Structure 1
Amino acid sequence: MVSLKRIYTIAGLVLAIVILSMVAFTTWYTVDESDQAVILTFGKVEEGITEPGLHFKLPWPIQSVEKLSKETFSLQFGYEEKDGEIKDFPEETKMITGDENIVLADLVVQWKITDPEKYLYNAEDPEEILYDSTSASLRSIIGSSKIDDALTSGKAEIEAEVRELLTSLVNKYDIGISVLAVKLQDVELPNEDVRKAFTDVTDARETANTKLNEAEKYKNQRMNEAEGEKDALISKAEGEKAARLERARGDVAVFNKLYGEYKNNPDITRERLVLETLEQVLPGAEIYIMNDDGNTMKYFPIRPLEKEQAKPKEDGGADNE
């Protein structure tokens, strides 16, 4: 018969071995570089651990460890991508724009856990809250946007507004999540006929804009040419004005000089002016000068005299050479 004392001894040894094993295996833990951890003391969060490596704690059930990933997660709204295949959920992505058109919009949200304590204990399902917040934010922004903006050039602005609204909702719910980025994947019309009609309208609008731009370009070109012609005419007129003013000043100077000579010798100056005028009006003509009484006519050989005067000058020039 085995004595009762022996049974107690064996049971005590087994219990001691179990306790020592539990202490040995539950007083240390490791944290990877991609993980973060929180220490729980009787279920209450004591501290967060983000440093990778080996760490120690009190044995279970006094303290326990919850590990969470530090990586960036992607929330796919309106579709699901697995093994390279994409599955759409059009009923979730169907929404009405601000100008009462129906579109299908899906997006992806980049997020990460920034507060493990709040992520674990402030909500039962933080990812579900994030999904619902994403849906509410996207529908709100699309509902206040025009269909042209949602389908064409306004996507970047819609993304920024969705991210801003989603971030405010997540912060309000305080679930330990931070939104890093929001990216619209597809925004399209619900069926092929509507898409084709919208494409036709968009093409017509782009054609109209192209024509308007070409007309504006032609208008600017013609305006520039007209401005250039105007400036050229003004410049020419200014030059003509300056030239005429200079000629007038020269004529005035000549007149003043002649007038001064005329005052000194009126008869000689008058005859000289008459001869010069005749020379200009009748170049090459033979000129006869008559006395004032009209009885005797005298020939005044101006041309031969000029030729006689010119010959000595030419001869003298030849000799000098």
Structure 2
Amino acid sequence: MTSLKRIYSIVGLSVAIILLGVLIFTTWYTVDESEQAVIITFGNVEEGISQPGLHFKWPWPIQSVEKLSKETFSLQFGYKEENGEIKAYPKETKMITGDENIVLADMVVQWKITDPAKYLFNAENPEEILHDATSASLRSIIGSSKIDDALTSGKVEIEADVQDLLSNLMKKYDVGISILAVKLQDVDLPNEEVRKAFTNVTDARETMNTKINEANKYKNKRTKEAEGEKDAIISKAHGDKAARIETAKGDVALFNALYNEYKNASEITKQRLILETIDEVMPKAQIYIMKDEGNTIKYLPVREGQKAEVTPPVPKEGSDGNGQ
């Protein structure tokens, strides 16, 4: 009897120790700086805990704690990198562009858990939902894009469109995941023959663009030269115009001066104008002023340096030339 009582005492003490241990070890918990926690009370989610440090709660099974990471996760779509080796999944990456060409496209999605309660209880596998949503978003955007954009300069725009569509889908699914960034890792053609043909097309397009740029450069050069010549001609015309106006003003002033002289001495001015006109029209002509005085004609050269000449007297009728 004594031994049975002792056994009951030991069992009760053990149960008490166990309960005390559960009470001690399940009424507190710590949250690291890289973690966030959710308190669950009888299966109901309480508010989340994101502050690091020591926290207290009701012991298990009244309350329990679920901890999730705050870090940024990477979803590798179309490939997987493990131990420095990359394994491709071509069935995931093969898709059709808007102009009915086939491309292989893989992507990295940066995401994080922003609502732990929804992440834990709104879906059975939130990461699988994210993977499927990424596939749907990428195929949708690639399917509305041209192959040239997907392979060359349109990648940035495609990434932005995929991120917008994927973010909207994750908000709609409401699984507590936020999309931070998406990045196209590689967009390629399915085989070597197609790649070679596309390379030839791309080279031809680059050559065309180079020729167009050179033509535009020559056009701009010739246009500027023509504009410079035009400005020079206009400037010269303005100069000629001003010169002719000044010349005309000088001619008018000269005419007015001559007219005034003519009014004061009309006969002298008339003779001078005649002589000046003859000298201008016939610059080599010899001009003399002659005066008839009886039997002798006197003439005077107008040009400077010429000597006056006197003609011999004309014999009168009936004379023998000796004055008789």
Deviation of 1:82 after TM superposition, in Å, equals 1.4
Q: Is residue 2:108 matched to residue 1:116? A: no
Deviation of 1:213 after TM superposition, in Å, equals 1.2
Q: Is residue 2:138 matched to residue 1:133? A: no
Deviation of 1:236 after TM superposition, in Å, equals 1.0
Which of the pair is proportionally richer in helix?
A: 1
Deviation of 1:300 after TM superposition, in Å, equals 4.4
**Cα distance in 2 for residues equivalent to 1:17 and 1:258:** 143
Amino acid at match of 2:172: K
**Cα distance in 2 for residues equivalent to 1:222 and 1:146:** 37
SS at 2:175's partner residue?
coil
Q: Output aligned runs, 1:218-233, within 5 Å.
A: 218-233=218-233
**CA deviation vs aligned residue, 1:61-114 (integer Å, no higher than 9, x gap):** 111110000000000000111122111111110000011000000000000000
**Cα distance in 2 for residues equivalent to 1:292 and 1:189:** 118
**CA deviation vs aligned residue, 1:179-230 (integer Å, no higher than 9, x gap):** 0001000000000110010000000011011101111111121122112112
**Cα distance in 2 for residues equivalent to 1:283 and 1:172:** 108
> Where does residue 206 of structure 1 map in the other structure?
206
Q: Is residue 2:298 matched to residue 1:297? A: yes
Amino acid at match of 1:176: G
**Cα distance in 2 for residues equivalent to 1:84 and 1:10:** 57
**Cα distance in 2 for residues equivalent to 1:82 and 1:293:** 139
**Cα distance in 2 for residues equivalent to 1:77 and 1:178:** 17
Q: Is residue 2:3 matched to residue 1:27? A: no
Single out whichever of 135-144 and 264-273 deviates more from structure 2: 264-273
Equivalent residues of 1:111, 1:180 under 8 A apart: yes
Q: Output aligned runs, 1:7-86, within 5 Å.
A: 7-86=7-86
Equivalent residues of 1:74, 1:109 under 8 A apart: yes
Deviation of 1:284 after TM superposition, in Å, equals 8.6
Amino acid at match of 2:110: Q
Normalization by structure 1: what TM-score?
0.90
Gaps of 5+ in 2: 307-324
Single out whichever of 247-256 and 284-293 deviates more from structure 2: 284-293
> Where does residue 234 of structure 2 map in the other structure?
234
SS at 1:303's partner residue?
coil
> Where does residue 318 of structure 2 map in the other structure?
none
Q: Is residue 2:117 matched to residue 1:101? A: no
Count of matched residue pairs: 305
Deviation of 1:8 after TM superposition, in Å, equals 2.4
Deviation of 1:9 after TM superposition, in Å, equals 2.1
Equivalent residues of 1:286, 1:303 under 8 A apart: no
> Where does residue 245 of structure 1 map in the other structure?
245
Q: Is residue 2:184 matched to residue 1:184? A: yes
**Cα distance in 2 for residues equivalent to 1:293 and 1:201:** 109
Larger radius of gyration: 2
Equivalent residues of 1:102, 1:190 under 8 A apart: yes
Deviation of 1:293 after TM superposition, in Å, equals 9.0
Deviation of 1:299 after TM superposition, in Å, equals 1.6
Gaps of 5+ in 1: 306-321
C-alpha RMSD of the superposition? 2.0
> Where does residue 161 of structure 1 map in the other structure?
161
**Cα distance in 2 for residues equivalent to 1:153 and 1:290:** 101
Equivalent residues of 1:106, 1:187 under 8 A apart: yes
Single out whichever of 290-299 and 143-152 deviates more from structure 2: 290-299
Normalization by structure 2: what TM-score?
0.89
Q: Output aligned runs, 1:260-271, within 5 Å.
A: 260-271=260-271
SS at 1:120's partner residue?
helix
**Cα distance in 2 for residues equivalent to 1:216 and 1:293:** 89
> Where does residue 175 of structure 1 map in the other structure?
175
**Cα distance in 2 for residues equivalent to 1:67 and 1:220:** 67
**Cα distance in 2 for residues equivalent to 1:271 and 1:85:** 117
**Cα distance in 2 for residues equivalent to 1:40 and 1:301:** 136
